[in-house]
Each structure stands twice: as structure tokens, then as C-alpha cells.
Amino acid sequence: MALRFFNTYSREIEEFEPRDPTARSIRMYTCGPTVYSRAHIGNFRAYIFEDLLQRHLELRGYKVHRVMNITDVEDKTIRGAREAGIPLQKFTEQFKDAFFEDAHMLRIKRADDYPAATDQRYIARMIEMISALISKGLAYQADDKSVYFRINKFPDYGKLAHFDLTQLQSTGRVKHDEYDKEHIGDFALWKAWDEADGDVKWDSPWGPGRPGWHIECSAMSMALLGDQIDIHCGGVDNIFPHHEAEIAQSEGVTGKKFVRYWLHCAHLLVDGQKMAKSLGNFYTVPDVLAKSYTGRELRYALLRVHYRVPLNFTWEGMNEARESLARIDDWLARLRQIAKSGNVQRSTANAQRPTTAFEDALDDDLNISAALGFLFESIRETNRAMDQNKMDAAPASEWLDWWKRINTVLDLEAEADVVVPHEVAQLAEERENARREKNWKRSDELRDRISALGWEVRDTKDGPKLTRGAGSA
Ligand code: AMP
Ligand code: ZN
């Protein structure tokens, strides 16, 4: 079956045809975290969906070049740094680190690039794009010195979100908030500096200021992936205005179609409401780990429902994830035992063999619910065969090979779950240094700190080894 995705732009399921079908390489841009606080698990639902998408494309033989931006300058990061009384860079750094730590716990594959909006390279690119938009009449500087995109001059504006913008149409100037814009829907490309921004500012042809959020993504995407890309993803809340604005900016500059396929994931909910920082109804990855769940269990809980279906987060759901993984673990253990035994005596004439149903389901707009349904049905049937002594080494090995293949997409195997947290690894490294300096007192202190975090360090001939201590999550 050909790969098919629901494209937000057309609101239809479309057969996937990459820009360059012969190269089998795909350019994919995914909107990343705004680093003003620790990302919550709702954000990670979006990143896990993107991870699943990338892994499935790779299973199908594509080489994926994925970019995920880090939004480290916009209103919330500036406000946060000001309130904390520290420089912007220092303020955002801690949340960047936390993001990478959490993504690692959830086994999310690293993107090829993580461009930061404050990188001078990209700021220069943003300024270049804004200048081009002004020279084409698609942008203007208003009396407040900020530069805005002129949506009336871009007829396709609203096509992604399927919004009828005529309701917003206006001719004269409209006063909106503190801005003096021509049209209420015009969005900021460059925000003129004001006192609240402190020392966060860059020089530009329009005076000191900072980029708007939308132009950051257009510029970083263009700088790293070129004028035209295959896939662009995010959560549904990114559709408008963020992605709509990205199209207007990028296509406004290049005159070429920016993105072939727009994929958006539905929200993670709590009690039927979107999990959001602003609503205070959120959990972070450490919140979930503190309740003795593992990163693997959370990955499963966030992965198991089709990406376009809203998913309600509950602790009961976490327990179900734990049970489902235990079933997989037990099944693999049984298969391994039979495969190892090399037994070829049993009657296996009717033994069920793996099929392509799992990956075929993923071809169908990444239907993970159906794919997992097939996995558990296979587990049920092969377990029955094993109960009845009707499975010998050959089919058991086939099922293990099959698992290995689908696990490149799922990444849910137990062993790899023993991921040493960054903090523990750092303490272990400090302890190793202390031992090298024969500072035994410090080495013991560090061992105690490692142990207080639920880990045990053993000194072996191959160096120190970390294992989960008693009572750890
Ligand atoms: P932000 O840091 O707010 O820009 O969000 C980062 C990503 O997480 C974006 O792709 C959002 O669409 C996505 N997102 C935010 N909240 C949720 C949620 N409750 N469920 C799923 N995705 C979300
Ligand atoms: Zn973005």
C-alpha cells in the first residue's frame, strides 16, 4: 500500500509523493519548544507523533532530514528572563537542557538540526526575508516602528486554516492593542524594541528590535532545508496563525510552494480540556517519573492513539501502558526461549507467521491504533500456539525478527529503558574524577548522592557501571 497522509492544507488523505522521488530523501520541519518553562507532556505528544512519523518514513526506506527549532526569543521568554532577573540566554538554557533530557527519556530520535532563533546566522536571514517582503509590497513599517505582514496582499492567506478572512476585512487603519496596523490580521515580522525588552535587541534597517515568532520558523526552515520542503508538522494549535503566517512569509519571498504536506497532531487533554501551561492542568516528564512510571511507559501512553484523535491523559492510562508493555516483554521472553532452544520437533504446520499488517497500518496515515491492535492480536495468537506447544524455533525467530523491524518504529523494548539520567551520569563522572585523584571522601559522598537518586554505582574492571538501586523508579 502506498504511504498516505491527511494533509491539513487540502483536508484530505493524500498519497505521499516527496518532492524528489528518486532521491528518497525527505525534508521535514517540526516546530519545537518555546523555552520559557519546562515542556509538558502535551508538547511531547506532538514530538512523539513526529518521532513516529520520521521512524516510519525511515522504515519505508526514506532518508529524513529533520529540523526542530528552539524558540528562545519571544514575549514569554523575555518576560521570564526579566522576572528571574537573569540574561535571556541564561534563562532559556535551563529549559533547553530540560527539553533534551525529557526527549531522551521518551526515546525521541534526535533531529538533525536544532537551530535557535537567537543565532546571529538566522537573525540575519530573518532580516533578509523581511526586507524582501517589504520590497515586494507584502510588508510595511507602521508608526510604532514595528514591521507587519500585509495579509491583504497575499490572496492565499487563510487557506491552510480554511478561514474566511473577509469577516476581518477592513480598509482604513485599525487600532489593535498597542499596534497601529493597516489590517487587524496583519502580524508582526519585526517588533520594535521597547523598554520591557531590556537588552534583548538586534539592529535592523527598521531600528532596534527582535523578530516575530512566525518569521523565525520561515527563516530557519529556509536556511537549513531550502525554499521547498516535504513535510511540516506541529500541534493543531500551530495551524493558525503560526503556520498560516509561515506560508505567507516563505511563499511571499520565494514565490514557490513552501510545504507539500502539513501534518498536525490533536491535543493531549486532561479532563476533556487541552493540557496547557496557561490552564495549569499540565504534567511534565519528571512529574510522571516521580510517580514511579518509566520513560518507556510514558512513551507508550502518548504513542498509542492515532495522532489526529484527541487523547485524554489519565493515571489509569499509564497503568494500562504498563500492562501492555509487560505483555510485550513476556511474549518476547517466551519467543526468545523457544528460539534459543532450537527445537524443531513440534508440529508447526499451522503456526501463524508474521505479516506486513503492522507497517501497512502505519502507511495509512500513521494508524498506530490499528498497528498496535495487530501487534496484540499477534501476541494473543502466538501465545496460544506456545501454550499448545505448537511453536518451534523457526517461527519464533521469525516473530523476533519481525519485532526487531517494527521496534525500529516503536522503540519500546525493555532493556533500553535503563537510561541513566543526565544528573546521575554527571555525578558518576565527578566520582570517577575524585577516585582518580584518590579523594576517597568525596568519592563516597558522590556515591551517596547517586544512591539518593535511586542509582547504584559499581566499580568493575571495565570502569564504573550504573544500575538501578533498590526503590528506584
Ligand atoms: P509551544 O512550546 O507552546 O510552542 O508548543 C510546542 C509544540 O507542542 C507545538 O507543536 C504545539 O502545537 C504542541 N502542543 C502544545 N500543547 C499541546 C497539547 N496539549 N497536546 C499536543 N500538542 C501540544
Ligand atoms: Zn514554528
Q: Is the pLDDT of residue 179 over 60?
A: no
- How high is the pLDDT of residue 14? 98
Atom of ligand 1 nearest to the CA of 269: 19
Residues 6+ apart with CB under 8 A from 67: 28, 29, 30, 111, 112, 113, 114, 115, 220, 221, 224, 225
Q: What mean pLDDT comes out for the span 216-235? A: 98
Q: Which of 237, 242, 243, 267 to mutate to test the pocket of ligand 1 (most atoms within 8 A of CB)?
A: 237
268 lines ligand 1 (CB under 6 A): yes
Atom of ligand 1 nearest to the CA of 268: 20
Q: Is the pLDDT of residue 178 over 80?
A: no
Q: How far apart are CA 389 and CA 333, in angstroms?
A: 15
Q: How far is the CA of 96 from the centre of ligand 2 (A)?
A: 16
- How high is the pLDDT of residue 466? 76
Highest mean pLDDT range out of 196-205, 421-430, 446-455? 196-205
274 lines ligand 1 (CB under 6 A): yes
Q: How far is the CA of 415 from the centre of ligand 2 (A)?
A: 35
Q: How far is the CA of 103 from the centre of ligand 1 (A)?
A: 14
Share of the chain above pLDDT 90, in %: 80
Beta strands (DSSP E) in 125-177 are: 139-141, 147-149, 174-176
Q: Is the pLDDT of residue 112 over 60?
A: yes
- How high is the pLDDT of residue 302? 98
Q: Is the pLDDT of residue 157 over 60?
A: yes
Q: How far is the CA of 147 from the centre of ligand 2 (A)?
A: 19
43 lines ligand 1 (CB under 6 A): yes
Residues 6+ apart with CB under 8 A from 464: 428, 431, 432, 457, 458
- How high is the pLDDT of residue 417? 47
Q: What is the number of the ligand closest to the CA of 37?
A: 1
Q: Is the pLDDT of residue 422 over 90?
A: no
- The reply to whether omega before 208 is within 30° of 0 (cis) is no
Instruction: Specify the residue for cell string 487540502.
Output: 10
Q: Atom 8, ligand 1: which residue's CA is nearest?
A: 43
Q: How far apart are CA 425 and CA 449, in angstroms?
A: 12
Q: How far is the CA of 243 from the centre of ligand 2 (A)?
A: 7
- How high is the pLDDT of residue 423? 83
Q: What mean pLDDT comes out for the span 438-460? A: 87
pLDDT digits over 120-149, tens only? 999 999 999 999 999 999 999 999 999 999
- How high is the pLDDT of residue 471? 40
156 lines ligand 1 (CB under 6 A): no
Q: Is the pLDDT of residue 255 over 60?
A: yes
Q: Is the pLDDT of residue 172 over 70?
A: no
Q: Which of 30, 31, 43, 265 to mutate to test the pocket of ligand 1 (most atoms within 8 A of CB)?
A: 43
Q: What mean pLDDT comes out for the span 258-277? A: 96
Q: How far is the CA of 32 from the centre of ligand 2 (A)?
A: 7
Q: What does pLDDT average to over the chain?
A: 92
139 lines ligand 1 (CB under 6 A): no
Q: Is the pLDDT of residue 375 over 70?
A: yes
- How high is the pLDDT of residue 461? 57
Q: What is the number of the ligand closest to the CA of 213?
A: 2
Atom of ligand 1 nearest to the CA of 32: 6
Q: Is the pLDDT of residue 473 over 60?
A: no
Q: Is the pLDDT of residue 233 over 50?
A: yes
Q: How far apart are CA 416 and CA 329, in angstroms?
A: 12
Q: Which of 57, 74, 75 is nearest to 66 (CA)?
A: 57
What does the block give as the cell for 288? 510522571
Q: What mean pLDDT comes out for the span 467-471? A: 57
pLDDT digits over 43-87, tens only? 999 999 999 999 999 999 999 999 999 999 999 999 999 999 999
234 lines ligand 1 (CB under 6 A): yes
Q: What mean pLDDT comes out for the span 150-170? A: 85
Atom of ligand 1 nearest to the CA of 238: 12
- pTM for the complete prediction? 0.87
Q: How far apart are CA 248 and CA 133, in angstroms?
A: 10
Q: How far is the CA of 188 from the centre of ligand 1 (A)?
A: 21
- How high is the pLDDT of residue 425? 84
Q: What mean pLDDT comes out for the span 434-448? A: 91
The DSSP secondary structure of 192-212, one letter per residue, reads EP-GGGTT--B--TT-SEEE-
